[in-house]
Amino acid sequence: MILCAVLSPALDVTYHVDRLQVHDTNRVRTIASRAGGKAVNVARLLRALDEPVTLIATIGGPTGELFAHDLQAAGLAAELVRGDLDTRRTVTVVADDTGDATVFCEPATHADWDTFLERTASSLHAADLVVASGSLPRGVPVDGYAALTRLARDRGVPIIVDTSGPALIAALDAGPQLVKPNLSELIEVTGIEDPLRAATRVARSSGGAVVASLGADGLLAVTPHGAWRATLSRQLRGNPTGAGDAVVAALARGLLAGADWPQLLTSAAALSGAAVLAPCAGEFSADDYAELIGTISVEQLAEMT
């Protein structure tokens, strides 16, 4: 089972309006709401790939119960810790005339980090791999991802961390098997503009693998076994939000299956491409995924000294 740790759960609400009018009343045409958060997207993708997955999150209040209900409706197993803060919402207003989205994110605050760590520790006995992704909410110390990494490592469970900034830097010290920054996150934590040099620096500090996602330019991996670059034969137009979560889902699944790096990167580039083509984060069409697999090329790179 893959355990997906959700540090900043949210109920994602989407409003569709004909036209967005600032300083005026906007009539909402349709409302959709669903459980969100980056690790929730990863879990949805893994479930769609028939991979056993369990989420762990701290929720609270009526919004937390809606979050829980939506996970259940999606068939996602979850270990839910009840805290005393109402789960946050995000509201996305989509204007149908332009297709533009305006997003309002309530701040993420973790209600009870120590209990979450304890429950994660006890869930690890059933986990083959952990995915921890998302930004650091208030109430979680900057070494929160590092603490999760140490818990997993102490129990011999590999962990993939997808976060940014100081939380990522702190996590590297704890030695996660894999981190997945995007290009701007990679530059931010290293101060190095060149992706290969920057990823090499990050890989050295963690002692594990780095898969950097470079948007439409594909993926770059620097690992203890070598360095590779994966590219699609064409750029895709669509919704790139959550494409990084698809990279993480594919890598998690492939690592568990014992795939080699070229295979891992091929599936990660294809699944993330399919996610770009899907309208919502956490979704993809199996046909797109199958078609894109054949369009990925993987090239081994000379290692940097």
Ligand X SMILES: Nc1ncnc2c1ncn2[C@@H]1O[C@H](COP(=O)(O)OP(=O)(O)OP(=O)(O)O)[C@@H](O)[C@H]1O
- Contacting range for ligand X; rule: CB under 6 A; set: 101-109, 137-145, 201-209, 216-224: 216-224
The nearer residue to ligand X, 111 or 227, going by C-beta atoms, is: 227
Question: What is the crossing angle of helices 195-206 and 165-173, to 10°?
Answer: 50
The nearer residue to Mg ion, 63 or 182, going by C-beta atoms, is: 182
The nearer residue to Mg ion, 66 or 202, going by C-beta atoms, is: 202
Two structure tokens written together for 215: 């948007």
The nearer residue to Mg ion, 182 or 200, going by C-beta atoms, is: 182
Closest residue to Mg ion, Cβ-based? 244
CB of 243 to ligand X, least distance (A): 3
Cα radius of gyration rounded to whole Å, the chain:
19
Q: Is 244 in the site for Mg ion (CB under 5 A)?
A: yes
CB of 199 to ligand X, least distance (A): 13
CB of 282 to ligand X, least distance (A): 10
User: Given candidates 232, 251, 255, 264, which one binds ligand X under the rule CB under 6 A?
Assistant: 232
Selection from Mg ion, ligand X, none that 129 binds (CB < 5 to 8 A by kind) is: none
Question: What is the crossing angle of helices 183-190 and 195-206, to 10°?
Answer: 70
Catalytic amino acids?
A: 245
The nearer residue to ligand X, 87 or 164, going by C-beta atoms, is: 164
- Contacting range for ligand X; rule: CB under 6 A; set: 73-81, 109-117, 229-237, 250-258: 229-237
Q: Is 83 in the site for Mg ion (CB under 5 A)?
A: no
CB of 219 to ligand X, least distance (A): 5
The nearer residue to ligand X, 210 or 232, going by C-beta atoms, is: 232
Selection from Mg ion, ligand X, none that 136 binds (CB < 5 to 8 A by kind) is: none
Selection from ligand X, Mg ion, none that 137 binds (CB < 5 to 8 A by kind) is: none
CB of 230 to ligand X, least distance (A): 7
Q: Which amino acid belongs to residue 130?
A: V
- The secondary structure of the chain, three-state, reads CEEEEECCCEEEEEEEECCCCCCCCCCCCEEEEEEECHHHHHHHHHHHCCCCEEEEEEECHHHHHHHHHHHHHCCCEEEEEECCCCCEEEEEEEECCCCCEEEEECCCECCCHHHHHHHHHHHHHHCCEEEEECCCCECCCCCHHHHHHHHHHHCCCCEEEECCHHHHHHHHHCCCCEECCEHHHHHHHHCCCCHHHHHHHHHHHHCCEEEEECHHHCEEEEECCEEEEEEECCCCCCCCCCHHHHHHHHHHHHHHHCCCHHHHHHHHHHHHHHHHHCCCCCCCCHHHHHHHHCCEEEEEECCCC
Contact present, 201 and 192 (Cβ < 8 Å): yes
Selection from ligand X, Mg ion, none that 272 binds (CB < 5 to 8 A by kind) is: ligand X
CB of 134 to Mg ion, least distance (A): 9
Residues numbered 235-294 forming contacts with ligand X, rule: CB under 6 A: 235-236, 240-245, 247, 269, 272-273, 276
Q: Which residues bind ligand X (CB under 6 A)?
A: 182, 213-216, 218-219, 232, 235-236, 240-245, 247, 269, 272-273, 276
Q: Which residues bind Mg ion (CB under 5 A)?
A: 182, 244
